Structures are given as C-alpha cells and as structure tokens.
Amino acid sequence: MGSYKYIHANEMALYKNNERKKEILQEVRNQPIIKRIEKPTKIAKAKTIGYKAKQGYIVVRVRVSKGDFRRPRQNHARRPSKSGIYYKLEISKEGIARDRALRVYKNMQVVGSYFLIEDGKSKWFEIVLADGKKL
C-alpha cells in the first residue's frame, strides 16, 4: 500500500472534525481572492492531480462567490415573459477559479484543481500550476 492512502485517510478524518473546518475557514476568509500558498492543504489530492514539490510547480488558492445567476426583473414597458429567468453557467465554479488564476499567473499552465472548502457565501479551490516548460 502506498503511503498517500493513509495520508488521505488522515486528511478526511481532519475534515470531518468541525473544529478543523472552522480553523481553515478562519484562515481563508481573511486572505485575498487569489493567494499563492507554499504547500497544498490536501497533499494527497494534489499529488493525484499531478503536483510535485519541486521548482516550477506552485499552488494557488482561489475564492469564488456562490449563488445563482438570476437576471434582475425588468418593469419598464417590456414583456414579462423573459423576466425572472435563472440562467445556467456554461462554465463551472471550478472553471471560473482556474481562469482567475491564469489571469494572474500568465506564464503558467493548469495541471489540475480541486475543491477545498465552502461557507454560505464562497467556495475555495486550490489550483496546481506548472511552468510551461515543465509540462
């Protein structure tokens, strides 16, 4: 058996603990929207995606707001049939997080990303980026 199986089991036990979740939420809420971090929070998950602890690989934590995408209702001499419609996004929240990370780190390429944690307002993802020469 690989050692990352046990690391993953240990991480899952920590995430089931509500106190650990509160600690992580307190840490990430005070950070900016896009934050480069030294090491991934979920090491086993990052390794399965393709993260390597060497030069040229970085991890970025990105916050994306939650909520629906409803258009505001129009009431100025317009047909009411098209108002109040919920629109589906063509891209997922995780895709939005990847795009935001690539806007800041333009010379990098996305290796992978994974969900970290969420609260009532936001979702946080960690994106693993690599230098273009490394891939």
Which residues span the domain enclosing 109?
3-131
* pLDDT the model gives residue 71: 60
Q: What is the CATH number of the domain that holds 101?
A: 3.40.1120.10
- The answer to whether 135 touches 56, Cβ cutoff 8 Å, is no
* pLDDT the model gives residue 81: 65
Q: Would you give per-residue pLDDT tens digits along the chain (135 residues)?
A: 577 778 778 777 776 778 878 888 998 999 999 999 999 988 888 988 999 999 999 999 999 998 766 666 666 666 666 566 666 677 889 999 999 999 999 999 999 999 999 988 999 999 999 997 766
Query: Structural domain tally of the chain?
Result: 1
